[in-house]
Amino acid sequence: MIRAAAILLGLAVAVPLHAAEIVWRSSSSGVLPSPAAAVTPTLPMPPEAPAGFALSMVGEASVTAGAALDLRPVVAGASGPIVSFLLFGELPIGVTFNATTGRINGRALEAGSYQAWVSATDSTGATVAAGVTIVVT
């Protein structure tokens, strides 16, 4: 018994716990590839917008509560057709955004100041954006 305790004590001193290494094994092949060195993932940069590619929002951006609001995007200089529109920001209650046409319309029901940005992406992946402040009195 004393001999077994001495062997366990010797192992505990000889093999520090922090030096332990776990080796994972596959049940089918017996080995797993070692992980690659830490690689920082990178995102591809979107293509630059061609010269002259621009977006603006036209229409009355200041309305009284309950009045109709209608803002439409005007896109110029796109390389090919516009594939999508996206909205970022906040719209008044009662107002909607159409992702196919980029149109913001409806009846603004609550007074306040609302900031929104609309982006347009063309068939090459280039994107432009325009901001609009909607004021409902």
Report the alpha-carbon distance of residue 69 to residue 137 in Å, rounded: 12
Closest CA to 58 of 77, 36, 73: 73
Beta carbons of 129 and 118 less than 8 angstroms apart: yes
What confidence tens digit (pLDDT) does each residue in 19-71 have?
Answer: 556 666 667 776 666 665 556 667 776 667 677 889 999 888 899 999 999 99
Q: pLDDT digits over 117-130, tens only?
A: 999 998 888 889 99
- Integer-rounded Cα Rg, in Å, for the chain is 31
Token pair in block for residue 114 = 């609302």
| Single-letter amino acid, residue 132 | V
Among residues 87, 115, 111, the alpha carbon closest in space to that of 101 is found at 87
Structural domains of the chain sorted by starting position, each given as residue range(s) with its CATH number in brackets = 54-136 (2.60.40.10)
The pTM (predicted TM-score) of the whole model is 0.62
